[in-house]
Chains A and B, each alone.
Chain A
Amino acid sequence: MALEKITMPQLGESVTEGTISNWLVQEGDHVNKYDPIAEVMTDKVNAEVPSSYTGVIKNFVAGEGETIDVGELMCYIEVEGSAIVGRETISKENHVSNEVATPEVEKDQSMKTRYSPAVLRLAQENDIDLQQLTGSGRGGRVTRKDIEKILSSNVDSETTKTISQPSKKTVVNHEEMNEKNYYNPPAPEPQVIETASGDKEIPITGIRRTIAKNMVRSTTTIPHAWMMIEVDVTNLVKYRDSEKTRFKENEGYNLSYFAFFLNAVAKALKKFPQLNSSWAGDKIIHRKEINLSIAVARDDELFVPVIKNVDEKSIKGIAKEIDTLAKKARKGNLTPHDMEGGTFTVNNTGSFGSVQSMGVINYPQAAILQVESIVKRPVIINDMFAARDMVNLCLSLDHRVLDGVICGQFMSHIKDILENISSDTTPIY
């Protein structure tokens, strides 16, 4: 018998931490290898953590609701050792493993996030991140003395002193600025939003928090520019109408317009790789693969699963993946793998009736294309009115990476592809 550790697994490429939403087992439970032991919420997905061993769950190190880094200890599991070992060796091993393991097991951390009023006050007044501290109190509790120790050591060293008082420095800067008549608006302080009676408070979920974080990061770091073109998709509508019934019968899922749009975007990206790129600070990276992120909403959550290598796929292949991913998203079954590697985003805003919208770029991509509703409109062709199926395509672009000219060319190319769509140019299979 040996005590093994179960640690927080890496649940996605950029996932660094996970929050244990709930334990699915209890201390003392016997679990088989690969049995789910906990539900973990990361900023990308909710997933179940499987047990890496067969054995008895000994004790939880991380509690429910606790956020821990990838690779950090979640719990201990007692694993039955190999069967045929002499009695002496067993007891000996037992003894040794006990000796080694006990200090860690006994390091009870149950009070680690229980903060006293004094500790909270000192942490707030001095801008200390309590999560970073190791407490000396019972159960790993951070004591008032722990904080006072940090504070007194900060005062001792001059460098940390300046770091710990950034607000003062900013004030000085403001004054200097004022002398030159510059006005630097101060960073807005978060305003306390009051709840009136009858209002309902809804706690922020992990997914919601991630959406908020990504949106703020995107809109504050990427200088967005917008453009829109109008495309006549009468041919596309006719083509799809003639095929959709048969397709549904044969394949069992819908032949959606969105598949055609993704196909056109992939072709255009192949020609204009500038849009299939990322701003990387000191360089711009053009992506080789064309992996399209598509936005899928479920209740009040938004996911952006990825269809990989769209340029290599037929209309049928794309339609199938759209169908699979949408179903997965609605059931909450998307895996981290489904969300990874997007290089450009296409958003099907038309599906809920929008005719014009300004997308927020899916960081760190360089652009996002919104496909709006297809609507019948009178259009003048050869000085005559004609009823045509029209659609607006709206592009948000990272103006650090892209300029209007190149994006205009990209959009015209898409327009060209879509307006000339037929069974010859775009076979379904």
Chain B
Amino acid sequence: MPVMSYIQAITQALHEEMERDEKVFVLGEDVGVRGGVFRATEGLYEKFGETRVLDTPLAESAIAGVGIGSAMYGMRPVAEMQFADFIMPAVNQIISEAAKIRYRSNNDWSCPITIRAPYGGGVHGALYHSQSIESVFANQPGLKIVMPSTPYDVKGLLKASIRDEDPVLFLEHKRAYRLIKGEVPEEDYTVPIGKADVKREGTDITVITYGLCVHFALQAAEKLEAEGIDAHILDLRTVYPLDKEAIIEAASKTGKVLLITEDNLEGSIIGEVSAIISENCLFDLDAPIKRLAGPDVPSMPYAPPLEKEFMINPDKVEHAMRELAEF
């Protein structure tokens, strides 16, 4: 099986889907001739031409709006927000139109759009290039939010998102793009949306997280194994709607749960995960549910020491995991 980077898995998925279904097309800022600022759409313009790889004006509302309209007419658009931070002008389109159209039209219309957006910090991007925006969209029934952590999941989930009959927000951690590599099958496969995945089996503590933090947890778990601490790691993969069954199972397994997100703590995805656990697992819990997240400050700082302070890293995760194991 070939080893490829996180971003290569995205490119490959797009290639394969555009080949498979001529209704699939991409649109976004600089996705065409330039191949995207991160080169996620590299080679698509050359292969599929300007009618299926559209360079758009700097207007996120229009990117989403055009995508939504074409999706309602039967196309399969993959719209790219250059940075997740820029999605804000498109929120009305996404929440009020895309997420609601099936309900509003009494099932006459649907909106099978995929909106890709790179999120996350640790790249000295500061305010407009580092935010985690998932919690803004995470209570909008009708919308799905996918946040994969490995190249394998990226390819499988992006294909599943494109084929999904409803709008999917596909969030990619920009620091994972070239940092994370993994084996990806060449053949066509999908990974089901809405299903979490156990990334490591363990018996002492349960870590539930998503995105880049999955890798921090895996690294910390490896270190802690030498100390006799055996961590169970669940990758949410889809953060909305949550895979309740998998969360309950993972939390019940050890009774000691650490939840991690790079997002600001209050109001983040893991708050909801915590609620699911406390509603369902009281008599299996052996310790208070613990959360590790970014501080409640307006944005990722630009100064490197402050950015480091804000970001989740393997040391912070390791410390929190050990604390919980020793409780």
Binding site for B on A (CB under 8 A): 116-119, 121, 137-138, 141, 143-145
**Among B204, B282, B284, contact of A145 (Cβ-Cβ < 8 Å):** B204
Report B282-303 CB contacts with A as 1/0, cut-off 8 Å: 1111110000000000000000
Contact, CB under 8 Å: A118 / B326: no
CB under 8 Å from chain A, chain B span 279-327 = 282-287, 326-327
CA distance A145 to B203 in the complex (A): 9
Q: A118, A138, A141, A143: which contacts B284 (Cβ < 8 A)?
A: A118
Residues of B within 8 A of A138 (CB): 326-327
Cα–Cα distance between A119 and B286 once the two chains are bound (Å): 7
Q: Are A118 and B327 within 8 A (Cβ)?
A: no
Chain A residues with Cβ under 8 A from B284's Cβ?
117-118, 121, 144
- A137 with B326: in contact, given A116-B255, A144-B255 (CB under 8 Å)? yes
- Complex: chain B residue closest to A146, CB-CB: B286
Chain A contacts of B283 at CB under 8 A? 117-118, 121
Give the distance in Å from the alpha carbon of A143 to the alpha carbon of B255 in the complex: 10
Contacts of A119 in B (CB 8 A): 286
**A146 smallest CB distance to B (angstroms):** 10
Summarize B's interface: helix, strand, loop or mixed. loop
A141, closest chain B residue (CB): B327
- In whole angstroms, what is the CA distance A138 to B284 when docked? 18
CB within 8 A of A137: which of B203, B254, B285, B327? B327
A144's nearest neighbour on chain B, judged by CB, is: B286
In the bound assembly, the distance between CA atoms of A116 and B284 in angstroms comes to 9
With A144-B255, A145-B204 known as contacts, the answer to whether A116 contacts B285 (CB < 8 A) is: yes
B326 — which chain A residues lie within 8 A by C-beta?
A: 137-138
A138 and B325 alpha carbons, distance in the complex (Å): 9
Are A117 and B327 neighbours in the complex by a CB distance under 8 Å? Answer: no
| Residues of B that sit less than 8 Å from A by CB | 203-204, 254-256, 282-287, 326-327
Write out the residue numbers on chain B whose beta carbons fall within 8 Å of the beta carbon of A143. 286, 327
Q: Which 5 A-B pairs have the closest CB atoms?
A: A144-B286, A121-B283, A116-B286, A118-B286, A118-B255
B203 contact set on A, CB distance < 8 A: 145
Q: From B282, which residue of chain A is reached at the shortest CB distance?
A: A117
A243 to chain B, nearest CB (A): 71
Q: In the complex the two chains form, what is the Cα distance from A138 to B286 in whole Å?
A: 12
B285 with A118: CB separation less than 8 A? yes
Residue of B nearest to A115 (CB): B286
Would you call the interface of chain A mostly helix, strand, loop, or mixed?
helix
**A143 and B204 alpha carbons, distance in the complex (Å):** 10
**From residue A172, how far is it (CB to closest CB) to chain B in Å?**
30
Q: Which residues of A contact B204 (CB under 8 A)?
A: 145
The CA-CA distance from A117 to B257 in the complex, in Å, is 14
State the CA gap A137–B285 with chains docked (Å): 14
Kindly list 13 other residue pairs between chains A and B, CB separation below 8 angstroms, not including A118-B284, A143-B286.
A116-B255, A116-B285, A117-B285, A117-B286, A118-B255, A118-B283, A118-B286, A121-B284, A138-B326, A144-B284, A144-B286, A145-B203, A145-B204
A117 and B285 CA atoms in complex are apart in Å by 6
Query: Can you pick out 24 interface pairs between chain A and chain B where the beta carbons lie within 8 Å of each other?
Result: A116-B255, A116-B285, A116-B286, A116-B287, A117-B282, A117-B283, A117-B284, A117-B285, A117-B286, A118-B283, A118-B284, A118-B286, A119-B286, A121-B283, A121-B284, A137-B326, A138-B326, A141-B327, A143-B286, A143-B327, A144-B254, A144-B255, A145-B204, A145-B286
Separation in Å of the B125 CB from the closest CB of chain A?
39
B248 to chain A, nearest CB (A): 14
Central interface residue in B255, B282, B284, by most chain A CB within 10 Å: B255
Bound together, the chains give a CA A118 to CA B287 distance in angstroms of 9
Residues of A within 8 A of B254 (CB): 144
Determine the residue in chain A with the shortest Cβ distance to B283.
A121
A contact residues around B282 at 8 Å (CB): 117
Chain A contacts for B327, CB-based, 8 A: 137-138, 141, 143
Q: Which of B203, B282, B283 has the most CB of A within 10 A?
A: B283
Residue numbers in B under 8 Å from A118 (CB-CB)? 255, 283-286
B324 to chain A, nearest CB (A): 10
Find the residue from A118, A138, A145 having the highest chain B CB count within 10 A.
A118
A145 to B283 alpha-carbon distance, docked (Å): 14
CB distance from A104 to the nearest CB of B (A): 20
A185 to B98, CA, bound (A): 68
CB distance from A113 to the nearest CB of B (A): 15
A116-B204 Cα distance, complex, nearest whole Å: 15
Neighbouring B residues of A137 by C-beta, 8 Å: 326-327
Chain A residues near B256: list those with CB within 8 A. 144
Which B-chain residue is minimally distant from A147 (CB atoms)? B286
A348 to B204, CA, bound (A): 63
The docked-state distance in angstroms from the alpha carbon of A61 to that of B286 is: 24
Q: How far is the CA of A75 from the CA of B312 in the complex (A)?
A: 42
Measured between beta carbons, the chain B residues less than 8 angstroms from A121 are 283-284
Chain B residues whose C-beta falls within 8 Å of the C-beta of A117 in the assembled complex? 282-286
Which residues of B sit under 8 angstroms from A144, Cβ to Cβ?
254-256, 284, 286
Shortest beta-carbon distance from B19 to chain A in Å: 51
* Chain A residue contacts of B255, Cβ below 8 A: 116, 118, 144
- Interfacial chain A residues near B286, Cβ < 8 Å: 116-119, 143-145
Question: Given the complex of chains A and B, what is the CA–CA distance between A121 and B287 in angstroms?
Answer: 14
Q: Closest CB-CB distance, A88 to chain B, in whole Å?
A: 39
Q: Which residue of B lies closest to A121 (CB)?
A: B283
Across the interface, which residues of B come within 8 angstroms of A116, CB to CB? Answer: 255, 285-287
Which chain B residues border A145 with CB–CB below 8 Å? 203-204, 286
Report the Cα distance A138→B256, complex, angstroms. 13
Q: Which chain B residues border A141 with CB–CB below 8 Å? A: 327
Say how far B196's CB is from chain A's closest CB, in angstroms. Answer: 22
With the chains together, A79 CA to B284 CA distance in Å?
46
The closest CB in chain B to the CB of A136 belongs to B326
Q: Considering the chains assembled together, what is the distance between the CA atoms of A145 and B255 in angstroms? A: 9
Cβ contacts under 8 Å, B285 to chain A: 116-118
Shortest beta-carbon distance, B280 to chain A, in Å? 12
Q: How far is the CB of A106 from chain B (nearest CB, A)?
A: 14
CA A141 to CA B325, docked complex, whole Å: 12
State the CA gap A123–B305 with chains docked (Å): 48
Q: How far is the CB of B289 from chain A (nearest CB, A)?
A: 12
Q: Which residue of A lies closest to B252 (CB)?
A: A118
In the complex, the chain A residue whose C-beta lies closest to that of B204 is A145
- A279 vs B156: C-alpha distance when bound (angstroms): 81
Tell me how far the C-beta of A135 lies from the nearest C-beta in chain B, rounded to whole angstroms.
Answer: 11
Chain A proximity of B80: nearest CB distance (Å): 46
In the complex, which residue of chain B has the Cβ closest to the Cβ of A111? B327
Which residue from chain A places its CB closest to the CB of B288 in the assembled complex? A116
A143 to B203, CA, bound (A): 13
Residue of B nearest to A120 (CB): B283
* Closest Cβ–Cβ distance, residue B262 to chain A (whole Å): 28
